[in-house]
A and B are shown apart, each in its own frame.
Chain A
Amino acid sequence: MLNVNELENKHKKYKLKSYTPYFAIFLGVSAAILSISFFLLYDFNSKKETKKELIAQKTQEYNGDRKADIAIENKNEAIEQEASKVIVPKEKEETPVTQEREEKVQLSPSLNFIKRIESEVPLYKKEDSVKAAAIIEKKVERPIEKSSEPIKKENKKEEVSLPIVEEVKESIALVQKPIVEEPATNTSTIDIKRRDVEEDIKHVIKRFNVNHNPALSLFVAKKYYQLENYEQAYNYALATNELNNNIEASWIIFSKSLVKLGKKEMAIETLKRYINHSDSSQARQLLDEILSGKFK
């Protein structure tokens, strides 16, 4: 009955699954740290040239652009190129990097960014790990959004800002989603006044399947009998009798349903047996009625 081996496997999977959020967070955080250091390096590099020069260069590079997203993609590449440029000299000469460090003003926004990620991470713990990873990745893209701002201004193309704004919105939506969802599921009651029989039965069946309370199956049997669904009435009365074979009302419904289903002989047989061991006057009365043809 109890398959312990299968259960062991399920448990293993469950354990693995319970580690994935942490794994995802770990991945996300390391990705964030990587990209931040990458961003910093990029920043130092750009500091080498004057800001004006940077803007001029960028506008040159992208002036002829037709579509904004292409521009961003190109920029990604450009940043990567620039970054790889930086990494090589960095190892050789350490002095320029430390010199730049002294300008702390430049660093502060990036640190905020780290904080933001850290404070948001616990939110994803319960979420689907894939989703969590996705959000973190989105956040990681932000440095690019920021760095692209100067270009936006220079180009004076409205379209440029659009995809970026959308992206930010999307990540906000993702973050808010779990918060928004919960109240939505809790609202839809109050207007129920009269209990619809069908719904009532469904509700009770659901509970019966959980707790196997014969009171519930008997209720269902009676309701089905009233609805003239004798087959189901029979089924649930049978289930009731199996759980507790001493409920008079259940035997009555069971026998009545049998008669209605055209199994009169079986009903008589059942009632006789029940009367033998219970001495139920109600059962006897029903038996009389069936035998005399009063109940059919």
Chain B
Amino acid sequence: MKPSIYENSRDVFLDTVNVKDYIQLEKISMIYQALRDSIEKPLKMVLLYGKPGTGKSMFLSKLHEDVASAQKAYLYKTPILDESEFFKTIAQDLYGIKYDSELNFTQFMKVVENRELIEAIVPIIMLDEAQLYTTAMMEKIRLLSDTRKVKFVIALHKTEKEDIIAKEHFQTRIWESIKLENASPVELKIYIQKKLMKVNCVDTASMFVPKSINLIHKLTDGNYRDTNKLVYTLFDIYHYYAQNNPKEIRGNEISKKIIEMAAIHTGLINA
């Protein structure tokens, strides 16, 4: 059976980080340009931070994809927590050196310092979920970037706790820090509609009138992850009604009731 338009619309909002789903948003593309610019400058580190679900991982993946064709760039989506393993991985990626035994920081620093840059472009290492690295590890990463033989772009999910780490370790030293924020209602509308247009769901895209967007924004505060979950459930409910009770979804705007039902299901409304 062919999947219905509601199923197609629903699956767009699965919460996954996949570069091909990246949506160019105006504000984001501005930051994105700033980030690209700063990568080209002789910087040490770039810090990308923001609350959970503001699109840091998505952003980093996009950046990685764009940059990797022109220069050495490596994205570590998962933090490598074992110190030796971390340095061994970098040594392997940057210089193609394979270490069978342990590799500690001092040893690795020597390797980096003695390394002549082959091309003028400094390789980039991107670390997602960097708040999971220990304070000591962060300090070593900073020292590595001080050699100017490798650049780090670091994505940090920010809680109050991480805020302190961010302050202690980056505020005075970081070359550039960029904050990602939740979407404004206008951006949220673009986000939802562009996502749907990408899979040719024009009909469902046009159902998101300003009123529906405002309600969704009120419920999710413009957080991309929460919005994904909400809209996913919303279309799940539409799909159900389409099969079982079509009169519930007769209007050509997104039903307020169904938005609220989806919000109850995803826990955005306490009922």
Please list the residues of chain A having a beta carbon within 8 angstroms of any beta carbon in chain B: 2, 4, 7-8, 10-11, 13-14, 17, 189-190, 192-195, 203-204, 207, 210-216, 218-219, 222-223, 247, 249-250, 285
Q: B88 → chain A, closest Cβ, in Å? A: 10
Cβ of B98 to closest chain A Cβ, rounded Å: 8
Evaluate contact between A211 and B260: CB separation under 8 angstroms.
no
Chain B hits for A190, CB < 8 A? 164
Contact A192 B271 (CB under 8 A): no
Compute how far the CA of A215 lies from the CA of B264 in the bound complex, rounded to whole angstroms: 28
Determine if B265 and A2 form an interchain contact, defined as CB atoms under 8 angstroms apart. Answer: yes
In the complex where A4-B241, A211-B52, A219-B132 touch, is A195 in contact with B161 (Cβ < 8 A)? yes
Once A2-B236, A192-B161 are accepted as A-B contacts, the answer to whether A11 and B78 lie under 8 Å apart by CB is: no
- B132 contacts across to A, CB distance below 8 A: 204, 215, 219
Cβ distance B249 to chain A, nearest Cβ, rounded Å:
12
Partner of B78, one of A13, A207, A211, A218: A218
User: Closest residue to B82 on the A side, CB-wise?
Assistant: A222
B-side interface size class:
35 or more
> Among the listed B85, B236, B264, which residue makes an inter-chain contact with A14, where contact means beta carbons less than 8 Å apart?
B264
Interface SS of chain A: helix
Q: Which of B80, B225, B260, B271 has a CB less than 8 Å from the CB of A249?
A: B80
Q: Is the beta-carbon distance between A222 and B53 smaller than 8 angstroms?
A: no
CB of B139 closer than 8 Å to a CB of A: no
With A2-B236, A189-B161 in contact, is A211–B15 under 8 Å at CB? Answer: yes
Q: How far is the CA of A213 from the CA of B264 in the complex (A)?
A: 23
Residues of chain B with a CB closer than 8 A to A192's CB: 161, 164
Do B261 and A11 touch across chains, with their CB atoms under 8 A apart? yes
Per-position contact with A for B104-132: 1 when CB-CB < 8 Å, else 0?
00000000000000000000000011001
B197 CB, min distance to chain A CBs, angstroms = 25
* A215 adjacent to B237 (CB under 8 Å): no
Q: Does B218 make an interface contact (CB < 8 A)?
A: no
Residue contact A222 to B81, C-beta cutoff 8 Å: yes
Q: How far is the CA of A203 from the CA of B160 in the complex (A)?
A: 12
Which B residues lie within 8 Å of A8 (CB)? Answer: 261
**Known pairs A14-B264, A194-B135; A214 contacts B78 (CB<8 A):** yes
Does B171 touch A at the CB level, under 8 Å?
no
**Which B residues lie within 8 Å of A215 (CB)?**
77-79, 128-129, 132
For B215-251 the 0/1 string (1 means CB < 8 A from A) is: 0000000000100000001001100110010000000
